[in-house]
Structure 1
Amino acid sequence: MLNRSLSLVAAVATLLVGAAPAALAADTGSGPADFRTVVAAPHRARVTAAVLDLDGTGREPVVYGDDTPYDTASIVKVDILAAMLLHARDHRRALTARESAEAEVMIRDSDNTAATALWRAIGEAPGLESANKRLGLTSTQGGPGGLWGLTRTTAADQIRLLGAVFGTGPTPLDAASRNRIGTLMSEIATDQSWGVSAAADSGWALKNGWLMRTTTDLWDINSIGRITSGGHHYLVAVLSDGNASMPDGVNLVERAVRTAVSETGAG
């Protein structure tokens, strides 16, 4: 795993002169707190980004910030669908008409009722974790009972999931399953097309997650996907929590993805 940080000096320069994120190329090794400073994460908020350049030579993502677990909220719906497709193939069958309809609204519209149905169909957390072992995820723990949104994951693990869908290496997902997930992620409802798409200059496919924690009234805001920027194709995951509101979290995630993709492209 590569861990990258951005310098506080560059952050100050950005704030003063409005330099583009691509100018923040210096890596002083001063720790992940610098990334939080560059993207201006509020005091109570945490944010981590992971980026993998599919056109580069590296096979591990660059991680900006601490790669510690976050609640998934609705980004877990991509994982649920991948697990469902594996489950169906293991039983030598296609998704039923009902399962297909649930998969479509779960990804495109982030429908929670559909997610709950498919979560139960895969066997809840144990089923998800069994599928994730096959998909190469190592740091994702399914939520308790029916609480799929409280699944815990890391940014690097989300890149592993995206790699199973969009990457070029071996994956237990067959071509039809990969195409199905990728197509649905490129057809997200218009009002949900924020997040990692903020760093794209052409195509993107994504899934976002948002959840207000009732224990704190603070928001988890996450975004994962595949984008095209500067002629390169990237897998990107940005996870955040402790946001005062959903708009604050969306703004934080979009600042983070622009900075992380720009820095990765400049590296």
Structure 2
Amino acid sequence: MRMLLRGAAALAAVVTVASLTSGAAAQPRTGKPAGTSQTSATAQVPPGVTAGVAVFDRETGTFTEQINESAQFRSASVVKLLLALDFLWDRGPDHTIPPADRARLEPMLRGSDDDAANHYWSTYGGPAIIERMLDRPSLGLRDTAPPPTGYAGFWGYTALSARDTVASYRYILDKAPAPVRTFIMDNLRRSTRCSTADHFDQHFGIAGAFDRPWAVKQGWSGAFGTGTCGSRAATSGARKEAAPAPRAAAAVDLTRPALHTTGTVGATDRAIVAVLSLHQDGTSYGKAYTDLGRLTRSLKVPGAKQPAGTWFGTWGESVNVRKGPSTDGDPLTKLPAGVEVLVGCQARGEVVDVPPYTNEWWAYLPQYGGYISNIYISSPDNRLPNVPECGLPPR
């Protein structure tokens, strides 16, 4: 049985937005704490979304956002940070990584490769990995827990919280040996848009909300429909895990669609951001992508810069992103169905006919490095309002 349950679902509590509060480093676990339930001046949690959020400013040593930060979510691929840390923990003074493991760890961190996670989970004890991480005071995990009884083979069912995710990044950045920090963070900075195994577009949340520099480890789970990217559409959308239905009610929701975005933002990795989100059954990837993006952009993230442009919704299945404003040549990639995109400018180009619509204008998407026909932008006019005209980008 493949052990790749990429879960991420929150407790069934109704999300409430917490005030901007300061916090110290996480202390070793002393039981399961309650989440906060105050209000924030900036954070916007979309209707129907359950979220756990923590944003930590490393420059001031304080949290700028905390929203249900102690609530447990199933981890999905965010647990791969712990798998990598566990393997690298006692590698000797130079932390030399054998070539075979480097060949697994790099795609696991950059492209969220599941086969690599399966290898480390099955080789190094499965749930025992999580227990080892909990027993390490320097990590200070409080809400993390192994998969529930009956699901020991599924690493994605590990329970995490937003504040524990921040604690993991704080350990990597501030306490881990330099070779470990450099290896992990350099790979997270090289996150690929298309995940390794299923061609899922993983540049949502942090990667879409902020300009580089950023480093991300994402997680996703559930039947979102088409969430694929790349020059060829994959045969399926968000991964559907090879797992049985939950046998009984669990403290952590194991079923609803989820999207997690975690990582660092800004020069010198100033801000650590963890946004764990759970969505209603039947939610499309485009809607989840849009909701998570809007939530992430609404947060107070010190040192972050939002990219220039205007956000628009899209329609259509696997819309091609082209090098220029025409259908010449192979597409650069394909848009997941219905995602919200950032438009930097627009240009006249080849006339596109999708009856009953005809349009000669094309939108340049800086985050994809290419164009889509305005016909697929959710706007009433052929020319997008308040978007400047542009020439072709440099070749």
TM-score range, shorter chain: 0.7 to 0.9
1:245 to 259, 284, 294: 284
| Kept in 2: contact 1:198–1:257 (CA 8 A) | no
| Kept in 1: contact 2:271–2:302 (CA 8 A) | no
Bigger radius of gyration: 2
CA RMSD of superposed structures (Å) = 3.1
Partner of 1:208: 218
The Cα offsets for residues 189-222 of structure 1, whole Å up to 9 and x where unpaired, read as 1232222233423300001100017668631110
The Cα offsets for residues 91-130 of structure 1, whole Å up to 9 and x where unpaired, read as x973322211110111111111111101223321112221
Q: Structure 2 vs 1, CA of residues 255 and 33 (structure 1 numbering), >3 Å: closer, same or farther?
A: farther
Secondary structure of residue in 2 paired with 1:190: coil
Aligned length: 231
Q: CA deviation at 1:259?
A: 1.6
Give the unaligned 5+ runs of structure 2.
1-16, 21-35, 195-201, 224-244, 247-253, 305-395
Secondary structure of residue in 2 paired with 1:88: coil
Structure 1 position 222 matched with structure 2 position 260: yes
| Aligned counterparts of 2:50 and 2:66: Cα–Cα separation in 1 | 14
Q: Structure 2 vs 1, CA of residues 246 and 151 (structure 1 numbering), >3 Å: closer, same or farther?
A: farther
Structure 1 position 176 matched with structure 2 position 179: yes
The Cα offsets for residues 141-183 of structure 1, whole Å up to 9 and x where unpaired, read as 122322001111100000000111123xxx2x21100110000
Within 5 Å, which residues of 2 pair with 1:152-171? 152-167=159-174, 171=175
| Kept in 2: contact 1:142–1:151 (CA 8 A) | yes
Partner of 2:14: none
Q: Which sits farther off after the overlay, 216-225 or 107-116?
A: 216-225
Secondary structure of residue in 2 paired with 1:247: helix
| Aligned counterparts of 1:78 and 1:145: Cα–Cα separation in 2 | 18
- The amino acid across from 1:259 in the alignment is S
| Kept in 2: contact 1:5–1:65 (CA 8 A) | no
| Kept in 2: contact 1:49–1:64 (CA 8 A) | yes
Q: CA deviation at 1:84?
A: 1.1
Q: CA deviation at 1:137?
A: 1.4
The Cα offsets for residues 52-105 of structure 1, whole Å up to 9 and x where unpaired, read as 0111143x5641245310111111111211111114349x97332221111011
Higher relative contact order (CA 8 A, sep 6+): 1
TM-score, normalised by the number of residues in structure 2? 0.52
| Kept in 1: contact 2:145–2:158 (CA 8 A) | yes
Give the unaligned 5+ runs of structure 1.
7-30
Secondary structure of residue in 2 paired with 1:56: coil
| Aligned counterparts of 1:62 and 1:34: Cα–Cα separation in 2 | 10
Q: Structure 2 vs 1, CA of residues 163 and 126 (structure 1 numbering), >3 Å: closer, same or farther?
A: same
Secondary structure of residue in 1 paired with 2:133: helix
Partner of 2:47: 42
Q: CA deviation at 1:232?
A: 8.0
Q: Which sits farther off after the overlay, 127-136 or 96-105?
A: 127-136
Q: Which sits farther off after the overlay, 104-113 or 240-249?
A: 240-249
